Structure 1
């Protein structure tokens, strides 16, 4: 296996990983981004028709203008923007390469991927949280009719669909499937639609529920998934609902095992927030930095592109200052 030496290895080619690469390039550091999937893999896996909550200028990195045709940019516009930023700046990015392990070495780090061995002075982890779904942990969840990601509505036309959750992703999926001819039932653990649902979408879902176009069971949970039905525990007792597909959009989590194997420590509570210095983004492992939404642990709603893009500059400034 090839051995490669670098100043900095960046793990993850999402918007924040790209921002980190731009900061490295400004300083003429020898860096490489390693990404296990496509460029901006999480954005690529978003629903085809997704619209961002943020305006385009809040998604910009390194003061490179993001021009959108809409008040709120779409997934396709964001993919085009980050793609052009990466290609126009000739960023050094290895796609479809998975990092398997990070080990602290005498003069830096040894990083093993499925394609090469890297030695670097510093490591930046900007791998996001979109790869590991929060499971329902109920019988039948392993059936092929159960999905933890949503791409588009067409496959669900004329089908009985259970959408689990009440977040932005759940609400968007429920509305789109309903409008494409699916029979939608929402299963919501809480007592209402989520507080953070986009303000221009929330009245729509509430009206559809009120008129009965979309059935919603609040304070409810799926207890079992079967081939043609689901068993739901509601606050009025257990019920059985006809079902063809379950779209369980119950959130995602960082790869905590990967981080722990690298030596990163976490808060001792349910939030499981990794330990890092918010002024420098350096973790408890010297020379290993965290950037982007991964910093939130289980609080995946705390960090977004718009409030974590500054991490790239904080990291680069700290590395630069330590060299002096």
Structure 2
């Protein structure tokens, strides 16, 4: 069994930052990523543009040069891939962690390929894996997806987009511009206030001119092969439909956190317990890093404000190691 000082679960930007920090501090480490490098970013829409400027996405002071102030998905993939390769980070790809156990002060991490042992484990898995499901009939039909990729796929099709946040609004605008007939289903009374400031006026103008039909205070009741049934303030409405993009947000894998012994708050936020000064959870030697720290408050942590977690954790680990040596 391979042994390390630190095992990092998740190879996104924050997991990579943790690997860099561990290497800088002279700690043995490995990053385990269930997909490709920065797996979550890889599955972002092909034309996605970040809300943050490139310098706010930088890790370890490594410059991120982009064509525009706010980089796009392909530029981010290039940036983080080059960090991994140029720094020769020990990252094992397409290796999914299936279990983590602690015994006699050490963790055993079991993946679909190997077993590892470490004194410390960092969970940096983000929240993009599990979509918030609508729990309506027909949600599992092939025509329905919780992930959006390329607008070309929906050209000349009747498309329903569900949601009012950045992902939903971006998809609605891009698909409309590629020739889709777009209907936007919004549970609340308006387009989300957190939508990118340069995008929000665009979608509002398209709605007001009638290019995109928006249904406010509306939910989907059923998805059928050639239509969907929605519940509007004026009553039930049936729409002809080819595809549904249910971009209703995502959530962390709480079952995995609970399995590790991490305590969650009892309210709907499901905030994991950790010490913000060290990022250590209620389980000694088990740390959290990145957006997963926010529980259901997925808008709370981003790359730009959680990249500092890496150095906080490594300093905490070194401090604990020094106390053990002194003892």
TM-score normalised according to structure 2 size: 0.98
Question: What is the CA RMSD across the aligned residues, in angstroms?
Answer: 0.6
Secondary structure of 2:281's counterpart equals coil
Q: Decide which of 255, 258, 274 is 2:256's aligned counterpart.
A: 258
Q: Which residue of 1 aligns with 2:107?
A: 109
Q: How does 1:29-44 map to 2 (within 5 A)?
A: 29-44=27-42
Looking at structure 1, the residues matched to 134 and 113 of structure 2 have their Cα atoms a distance apart, in angstroms, of 34
Q: Which residue of 1 aligns with 2:23?
A: 25
Cα deviation, 1:75-106, whole Å, max 9, x if unaligned, reads 11111110111110000000000000111111
For structure 1, list consecutive stretches of 5 or more residues without a partner in the other structure.
Answer: none
Greater than 4 Å deviation, 4+ residue runs: none
Do structure 1's residue 178 and structure 2's residue 176 form an aligned pair? yes
Looking at structure 2, the residues matched to 82 and 57 of structure 1 have their Cα atoms a distance apart, in angstroms, of 13
The CA deviation at 1:107 is 2.5
Do structure 1's residue 46 and structure 2's residue 44 form an aligned pair? yes
The CA deviation at 1:7 is 1.2
Q: Which residue of 2 aligns with 1:93?
A: 91
Q: Decide which of 237, 252, 257 is 2:235's aligned counterpart.
A: 237
Q: Which residue of 2 aligns with 1:125?
A: 123
Looking at structure 1, the residues matched to 216 and 229 of structure 2 have their Cα atoms a distance apart, in angstroms, of 14
Q: Which residue of 2 aligns with 1:272?
A: 270
The CA deviation at 1:188 is 0.4
The CA deviation at 1:27 is 1.4
The CA deviation at 1:17 is 0.2
Cα deviation, 1:272-303, whole Å, max 9, x if unaligned, reads 01000111100010000000000011110111
TM-score normalised according to structure 1 size: 0.99
Aligned length: 322
Q: Which residue of 2 aligns with 1:290?
A: 288
Looking at structure 1, the residues matched to 116 and 103 of structure 2 have their Cα atoms a distance apart, in angstroms, of 11
For structure 2, list consecutive stretches of 5 or more residues without a partner in the other structure.
Answer: 323-327
Secondary structure of 2:88's counterpart equals coil
Cα deviation, 1:218-265, whole Å, max 9, x if unaligned, reads 000000000000000001100000000000000001111111000000
Q: How does 1:210-229 map to 2 (within 5 A)?
A: 210-229=208-227
Looking at structure 1, the residues matched to 282 and 86 of structure 2 have their Cα atoms a distance apart, in angstroms, of 35
Cα deviation, 1:49-81, whole Å, max 9, x if unaligned, reads 000010000000001111111011111111111
Q: How does 1:145-156 map to 2 (within 5 A)?
A: 145-156=143-154
The CA deviation at 1:28 is 1.5
Q: Which residue of 1 aligns with 2:82?
A: 84
